[in-house]
Copies of this chain bind each other. A is one copy, B any other.
């Protein structure tokens, strides 16, 4: 299976959701990207359709926005 990508920004709700997602889908099936630490990946995330974090980009290109942690505007600072 192609990997999913879990985008987050290090906020507490993100980290809690990250653990849940890794438990459910399996850590080996998910690439975790911290947009707070690696801001160079923000354009790529936005292009994929990420509107807020935490969000899970599925292998088929859908974006599941999980809870509502921080808007992309907040991540950009």
Distance of A23 Cα from B25 Cα, bound (Å): 10
Contact with B along A8-34 (1 / 0, CB 8 A): 000000001100110111000100000
**Among A24, A60, A66, residue most surrounded by chain B Cβ atoms (within 10 Å):** A24
Interface on chain A toward B: helix, strand, loop, or mixed SS? Answer: mixed
- A56→B23 CA distance, assembly (Å): 13
Q: Which of A32-69 contact B (CB under 8 A)?
A: 56, 58-60, 62, 64-68
A-side interface residues toward B, CB under 8 Å?
A: 4, 16-17, 20-21, 23-25, 29, 56, 58-60, 62, 64-68
List 25 interface pairs A-B (beta carbons < 8 Å), by A numbering.
A4-B24, A16-B62, A17-B62, A17-B64, A20-B58, A20-B60, A20-B62, A20-B64, A21-B64, A23-B58, A23-B59, A23-B60, A24-B24, A24-B25, A24-B29, A24-B56, A24-B58, A25-B25, A64-B66, A64-B67, A65-B66, A65-B67, A65-B68, A66-B66, A68-B68
